[in-house]
């Protein structure tokens, strides 16, 4: 129980640190480049998420995931209005909102079905 608290707290703290810094990072690197960096780091950290054998390694991987994910949240809301003409802003944000609403509904259900049907191994 203590280990899970450390892992969760590390993720939340790193995420909270990066969230307000996203504007500066996206100005420095550029929005597209910063998003590519964030997605790449998140994917790499996620690939290593099952590998840690110690608590310190587990916490480190989750801190990296939190920092990478912290950059994605604000960018996901900032990019659609810049990518579409003014008349399409509403539609772009609706599609974004659908993803935000449907992903937590479909992801765990689909993951549970795959795990149940094909085994987690």
pTM: 0.74
Question: DSSP string spanning 18-72?
Answer: HGGGHHHHHHHH-HHHHHHHHHHHHHHHHHTTT---SHHHHHHHHHHHHHHHHHH
The candidate with the shortest Cα–Cα distance to 64, out of 85, 37, 89, 26, is: 37
pLDDT digits (tens, 9 = 90+) for 28-74: 998 889 999 999 999 999 998 888 888 889 999 999 999 999 988 88
Length of the chain: 121
104-120 residue pLDDT tens:
999 999 989 999 998 76
């Amino acid at each position: 129980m203590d280990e899970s608290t450390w892992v969760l707290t590390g993720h939340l703290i790193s995420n909270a640190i990066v969230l307000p810094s996203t504007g500066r990072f996206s100005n420095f690197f550029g929005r597209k480049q910063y998003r590519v960096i964030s997605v790449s780091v998140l994917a790499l950290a996620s690939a290593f998420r099952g590998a840690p054998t110690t608590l310190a390694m587990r916490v480190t991987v989750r801190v990296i995931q939190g920092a990478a994910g912290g950059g994605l949240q604000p960018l996901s809301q900032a990019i659609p209005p810049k990518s579409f003409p003014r008349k399409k802003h509403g539609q772009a944000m609706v599609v974004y909102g659908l993803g935000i609403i449907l992903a937590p509904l479909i992801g765990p259900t689909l993951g549970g079905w795959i795990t149940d049907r094909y085994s987690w191994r």
